[in-house]
Structure 1
Amino acid sequence: MNTHLSYMYLLSPLHTGGTSQEGNLVGIARESHSDLPHLSASGIRGRLRASTPDSKENNQQKRLWGNTIEDVQKNGDSNLTQGALWIGDAAILWFPVPSLSHGIVWISSPFLLRRWLRLYNQSLAKPLSPPSVNSFSKGKVKLYLKDAIFQSSELTEWSNWKDYIPKGNLVADTIDKALILSDEDCQVLIQTCLWRQVRVNLGEGKVLADNAGFRYDEAIPPETLMFFPWGSTTSANGTANVACSDLQTILSSQNIWQFGGQESLGRGLVELWTSELKLKVKS
């Protein structure tokens, strides 16, 4: 089967709808094996399905995404069916952290790059390997990050760092300072640099209620670059190319998409584009 890669560059904080709450902190969805934030495939699929043009003549939603419980209940469908497309979870590839010396620095780690390269490398004649830890696009300089300081002797020159920035969007020019950290250090910085906003419960007249409380909403910050794989399912039955072409058309129908929760607050606005590379995965 063919697997494609699509990318999300966050324009506003992305609240991924986690159910965890510790004290007055409302958390976000996290990967169970890494504890890193992610956007679930079901959330992406739901948004894409809702944006799929549909009519009685072409029945495109059902063809691409299958039917739903509502279809079974309202339309008399005998059972649930699988659509022609599958969607994977969206994972972090490059994450922005504030820097006193360099403004914003985008960080990643061997772990984050390795899972992207598993797919991306299959389209390259000469596969890329994760760079060494503490490789910095600006070379051997003193670097001040939030909660971390690197001496010039601790950093190494990274000459081909642009090969690790996905093409096809202005993000290739936006991400201009890239740093590879160890998996442990990268995870710590991601956790400490998540976007958080305090929310206060108001009473009538938009004044503080007698029992007013507050909470912190957690989100993935703007300028983060994420990716998700997608492709055709076995139920495509010889129409895989048509189904994938239909989704390409849907994805290119708008430049700005909204994912996750808190849509009325402008959360989850992303630039979304798809790699032109067709990545072949043996079934």
Structure 2
Amino acid sequence: MDAKLLFIHALSPLHAGTGQGVGAIDLPIAREKATNLPYLPGSSLKGVLRDACTDGTTRKEVFGPETTHAADYAGSVHFTDQRLLFMPIRSLSGTFAWVTSPLVLRRFSRDVALAQGADFPANVPDVTPSDGCLVTNATNLIGNDGKVTLEDIPLTPARSAEMDAWAQKFVAVLFPQSSEWKDVFTARLCLVHDEIFGFLVETATEVVARIALDDEVKTVKQGALWYEESLPAESILSGLVVASPVRAEAHTVFKTVDDIIANPLQLGGHATVGRGLCSLHMVS
């Protein structure tokens, strides 16, 4: 199996929805059943990249035939679900933090082991609820009280050389041409306990109320009020791009994907209201 790591950096709120809701949120985002962590379905990503491929022959060889001939042969590229890697969380100091957890990094490390060209630290730092959180030595998240306060949760920070090593690897992929953003990411990287991370990704998503207006009187239509959930801007997800040489060789598959993601793409729903503008990066 030929596979490469793919990163998705949301430049605007990202709505990868389920189409229906059972609670207070009418249009929730997709979440894993076991962990409740948000993700972008691989099928959604593949559809966007397929539409962005302008060469008809390459599109069929790499992404497979049109839907009407789907049974003829399989496509040569597969995308895993893109799982949340870093969640932007409001911070009392530093404006916001890019937050992750040991479980998330361990699952990411499992993908690293399958991918070609990926070079990330082998050791995943651990943290317990009593430990608070781990930050880099260049952090700007620590307040005057010596705490890192995420939303309304005060945590006792510990500066970590291991976090420095992780930050160095991530910025090389996410911000290859911007030293400024490399510093911004490093200063805001934060590792919290899995339970705290689970609470944050449940409560710190972006939920907005939407309405529809009557065309004639310009007032809200009867019953046309709904709430929709999105991952906030600056969320970072990751997953795998897998090449399966059915009609196209692996190098052709990866080059095609790399060419398509050279410019930002719109992922998920509600593009006309600014949702889903994303920057994508594949580890060569």
Do they fold alike, i.e. is TM over 0.5? yes
Q: Deviations over 1:154-194 (max 9, x none)?
A: 32221232432422324533312121111111010111110
* Pairwise CA distance, 1:121: 5.1
1:160 and 2:162 are equivalent in the alignment: yes
* Pairwise CA distance, 1:107: 0.8
Aligned to 2:206: 195
Aligned to 1:96: 88
Q: Quick one: structure 1 residues 102 and 67, their matched pair in 2 at CA, closer, same or farther if it must change by over 3 Å?
A: same
* Pairwise CA distance, 1:209: 4.0
Aligned to 2:67: 69
Corresponding pairs, count: 261
Partners of 1:126 and 1:43 in 2: how far apart?
27
Q: Quick one: structure 1 residues 102 and 221, their matched pair in 2 at CA, closer, same or farther if it must change by over 3 Å?
A: same
Aligned to 1:259: 267
Contact 2:118 2:283 (8 Å CA) reproduced: no
Give the TM-score normalised by the residue count of structure 1.
0.84
* Pairwise CA distance, 1:208: 2.6
Contact 1:236 1:243 (8 Å CA) reproduced: no
Contact 1:14 1:222 (8 Å CA) reproduced: yes
Q: What is the aligned counterpart of 2:58 among 47, 51, 60? A: 60
Contact 1:121 1:127 (8 Å CA) reproduced: no
Contact 2:121 2:166 (8 Å CA) reproduced: no
Q: What CA RMSD, in Å, does the superposition of the two structures yield over aligned residues?
A: 2.3
Aligned to 2:278: 270
**For 2:216, what is the secondary structure of its paired residue?**
helix
**For 2:93, what is the secondary structure of its paired residue?**
coil
Q: Quick one: structure 1 residues 236 and 117, their matched pair in 2 at CA, closer, same or farther if it must change by over 3 Å?
A: farther
Partners of 2:216 and 2:166 in 1: how far apart?
52
Q: Quick one: structure 1 residues 206 and 219, their matched pair in 2 at CA, closer, same or farther if it must change by over 3 Å?
A: farther
* Pairwise CA distance, 1:43: 0.5
Same amino acid, percent of matched pairs: 24
Q: Which amino acid aligns with 1:2?
A: D
**More deviation in 177-186 or 258-267?**
177-186
Contact 1:24 1:216 (8 Å CA) reproduced: yes
Aligned to 1:279: none
**More deviation in 4-13 or 202-211?**
202-211
Q: What is the aligned counterpart of 1:184 among 157, 173, 195? A: 195
1:83 and 2:82 are equivalent in the alignment: no
1:32 and 2:33 are equivalent in the alignment: yes
Contact 1:20 1:28 (8 Å CA) reproduced: no
Structure having the higher Rg:
1
Contact 2:112 2:120 (8 Å CA) reproduced: no
Q: What is the aligned counterpart of 2:108 among 91, 110, 116? A: 116
Q: Which runs of 5+ in 1 are unaligned?
A: 73-78, 277-283
Q: Quick one: structure 1 residues 125 and 6, their matched pair in 2 at CA, closer, same or farther if it must change by over 3 Å?
A: closer
Q: Which amino acid aligns with 2:89?
A: V
Q: Quick one: structure 1 residues 132 and 207, their matched pair in 2 at CA, closer, same or farther if it must change by over 3 Å?
A: same
Partners of 1:28 and 1:218 in 2: how far apart?
6
Partners of 1:147 and 1:110 in 2: how far apart?
21
Partners of 1:174 and 1:101 in 2: how far apart?
13
